[in-house]
Amino acid sequence: MAMSYRELATRPVLAWCAVTAAGRLPVAMAPLALVFLVRERPGGYSLGAALAAAYVIGEIVAAPVLGLRMNAERARPQLVAGLAVGAAGFAGLGFAPHAHPVVLAALAVIAGAGPAAVAGGLRALLTSMVPERAVTQAMSMESMLTFGVWAAAPALATGLALGVGPAVPLLLMAALMALAVAGMWLLPAGWAAEPPEKGVSARRALLRAWPVYVLGAAGLSLLALAELLLPALLEQRGIAIGWAGPLLAGFSIGSAVGAFVYGLRGHWPGPLLVQSVVLVLAVTAGVALVALLPWTAAIGAVLVAAGLLQAPAGLTRNLALRRLLPPSALAAGYSVMYAAVGAGYAASGALAGGLLKVVAPSTAILYGVALTVLLTAVGAVGERRLTRRTPVVQEAGPVVDAEERKVRR
């Protein structure tokens, strides 16, 4: 029987929420904050875009590398180090906004790379802190928290940069990551992990799960299409471009609601793979409708509906990873997923940008939809074969410090 969200309101889980919010808000603010940091310099917007790209590259490259090196039972030192490096990178950017662009780019890479595996480690820690029957609710709660953070981040970065100073968001981000470092001692030191099955290393287990990452990347490529092409599509339809913000906000609100609803039940009908494919294809159909509908209200309604299904699609991917990977490889698996969906977003955005030079925005969206369907098919076929050969792995509970063991005795 599934637990209710109210039963997740324990002191350890609430502490985890606070640490996660403090650690993720800087990540969500970073791209826009970097643009505002240098926008008043010559070629400021181009430089800001380059710094944001450097930050994202640091994340994508470092996430799988650091995730593979994480020790499940003693994860805290690595999580603390990652957050501390991120705080140092943001502080350097905030204190030296007029430095040479190469220096700023290096600091952006450091700020992105340092905490790249923290999200995966904290997710693995969360699922070890709750009973097995509450894992779906816990991941749904994490998804709602993430959508809330990402909704607040642009307004916070913009308001501070324009109202106080362009360096202020970066300094706040450094302070928030430092707070997350301190908060890590409120959480367990790690999670229990048994060694991988005989003859299978953590790296091989991660490589074997490639279909899960492909399907995850397919899901997020749709978000790139919606976010990056919507302004151009509105212009094509003769709709005021100012509607882009409210329409995308509706998508985000729908995603938060979708995560909540998915977590109300511990188990949904059908295997996770079937759920994922159905949800991703439904969101794909919604994005295709956005490209075809001429009315603002209809586009808004479809985006809200697509958002409702987008969050559960992502949740099924993380739940699938948890079932396929041994506990020792979970943080690395989540980190690789983080990098994969980031790469999917970037690739879809690059494709969309290139297509806009030769076709109408609505046509570019439909090409992107076709790419998503192809990725979904490849991921689904690969994962079906994988699940036939790989036994389901159960995750163990949290690890406590030696001092905590003494207190319990």
5-191: CATH topology: Growth Hormone; Chain: A; (1.20.1250)
C-alpha–C-alpha distance, residues 391 and 196, integer Å: 12
Between CA 120 and CA 341 the distance in angstroms is: 13
Model confidence over 349-382: pLDDT tens digits? 777 777 777 888 888 888 888 888 888 898 888 8
CATH of domain 202-389: 1.20.1250.20
Distance CA(251)–CA(245), nearest Å, equals 10
Using the predicted structure, report yes or no on whether residue 222 has a pLDDT greater than 50: yes
- Residue 356: exposed, middle, or buried by beta-carbon count in 10 A (0-12, 13-18, 19+)? middle
Where exactly does CATH 1.20.1250.20 map onto the chain? 5-191, 202-389
Which helix (H) or strand (E) segment is 96 a member of?
Answer: none
The three state secondary structure string of 121-159 is: HHHHHHHHHCCHHHHHHHHHHHHHHHHHHHHHHHHHHHH
How does pLDDT run across 146-166, given as a tens digit for each residue?
888 887 888 888 889 889 999
**Residue whose pair of structure tokens reads 């959480």 in the numeric block:** 187
Q: Taking the model in full, what pTM does it have?
A: 0.79
Rounded distance, CA 43 to CA 39, Å? 7
What per-residue confidence (pLDDT) applies to 10?
87
Q: What is the pLDDT of residue 181?
A: 96
Rounded to an integer, the average pLDDT of 221-247 is: 77
